[in-house]
Amino acid sequence: MFLYMSAVAALYGCNSGNSEKSDASGQKDKGNIGKVIYGTLPDGAEADLYTLRNANGMTIRITNYGGIITSWTAPDKTGKYEDITLGCDSLSDYLKGVPYFGALVGRYGNRIANGKFTLNGQAYTLAQNNGPNSLHGGIKGFDKVLWQAIAVDGEEPQLKLRYVSADEEEGFPGTLTTDVTYTLQKDNALSIDYTATTDKPTVVNLTNHAYFNLSGDMNKTVLDHEVAIKADRFLPVDETLIPTGELKPVAGTVFDFTKFKKISEGINADDQQIKFGGGYDHCWVFADNSNSLKEVASVFEPGSGRVMTVSTTEPAIQFYTGNFLDGTVTGKGGVSYAHRTGFCLETEHYPDSPNQPKFPSTVLQPGETYRTTTVYKFSVKQD
């Protein structure tokens, strides 16, 4: 059995190079994974910051507070590695409250209508932390808890995180044990593997909420990015962003991303769904509804040549274009994140599934293992 340690990271195995390295944060360590103290939480617990590197030069920093990806470098068409994620410079900045930058989201990613659902005849009440609805697991969701961590060195370094959520935490039934493994692959992909088990029937929908701006310049919007999503239907929502229950064909609508399209093309359309979302903030349902790992979305940023592809075992994806960013949150390097300076592709089951029996079930039973994988892979397209 694994011993999960938050204070001391076990470094297993050794990278063939085994040379001592130091990086911008002054961190010195051996191999492809390092760890420094990130800061202290209000309850006195210490959070750590891990750095995962691969031989190409990709560097991903992740803290065990919220499982947050704080930075992630990817090469442009000239080979220059730049940070392509939104986030904060310090733990204290994350603690001030930011909109889920890079965080693990649970127990239930996305919305549950009116913060209520019924399971096996029992009614459950959750925090209404987003208008009338419950969003992203509630007030102190998985993005705001300290995860136990094990760092595993190797050619493809891993950070293994565990969080045990108590029965009734944030209103959800069952003790839920969640394991998330981040693996930085040698092909410039980050794989995120999630498993969870419960001791009572419950609902689960886990995701990661990284915001990307592939230009590497967070002073720019993402409107020029070109997006393709292998989805033939999307979920129309009401004015509080709860799905109406309809699975609407994207054909003939501004939600059609079956071919690459600039985000700017439809984001300001005179369309009721776009108005409800303040832009794109909807769930797309994949044409391939198998639970195998399949490529579901790609994003291309013409200036840098960066391409990001998303593969997942999930049936759907929330494409959110940073419509709630309004310059009030200051991010890394003192940059104010203006409207639409980042986009998210959150792989998931459909929002509000616990209240919508026609949607694929998000119920997890004792004895079952919830299991899902999402891979974000970077490459470049030359002109």
- 46-105 residues in contact with ligand GLA (CB under 6 A) are 99-100
Nearest 10 degrees: Cα torsion 323, 328, 329, 335: 100
Residue 119's DSSP bridge partners are 122
- Interface with ligand GLA (CB under 6 A), residue total 10
d(C-alpha 120, C-alpha 172), whole Å: 13
User: Of the listed 169, 170, 301, 346, which one is catalytic?
Assistant: 346
> Given the rule CB under 6 A, which of 68-76, 143-151, 266-274, 317-325 is the region that contacts ligand GLA?
317-325
Kindly state whether residue 143 participates in binding ligand GLA, applying the rule CB under 6 A: no
Tokens, residue 222: 């993402």
CB of 18 to ligand GLA, least distance (A): 41
- 274-313 residues in contact with ligand GLA (CB under 6 A) are 281
> Given the rule CB under 6 A, which of 84-92, 216-224, 247-255, 318-326 is the region that contacts ligand GLA?
318-326
Of 197 and 318, CB closest to ligand GLA = 318
Residue 66: half-sphere exposure toward Cβ, Cα within 13 Å: 28
- Give residue for tokens 């915001």: 211
CB of 245 to ligand GLA, least distance (A): 18
CB of 281 to ligand GLA, least distance (A): 5
Kindly state whether residue 320 participates in binding ligand GLA, applying the rule CB under 6 A: yes
d(C-alpha 179, C-alpha 310), whole Å: 21
Kindly state whether residue 344 participates in binding ligand GLA, applying the rule CB under 6 A: yes
Q: Are 306 and 226 in contact (CB under 8 A)?
A: no
User: Of the listed 209, 225, 282, 349, which one is catalytic?
Assistant: 209
d(C-alpha 347, C-alpha 210), whole Å: 11
The alpha carbon of residue 209 and the mean position of all alpha carbons in its chain are separated, in whole angstroms, by: 3
346 as an active site residue: the answer is yes
CB of 100 to ligand GLA, least distance (A): 5
| Distant-in-sequence, close-in-space partners of 304: CB < 8 Å, separation ≥ 6 | 76, 77, 82, 214, 215, 216, 380
Tokens, residue 73: 């470098």
CB of 49 to ligand GLA, least distance (A): 23
Instruction: Please list the active-site residues.
Output: 209, 346
Contacts to ligand GLA by CB under 6 A? 99-100, 135, 241, 281, 318, 320, 324, 344, 346
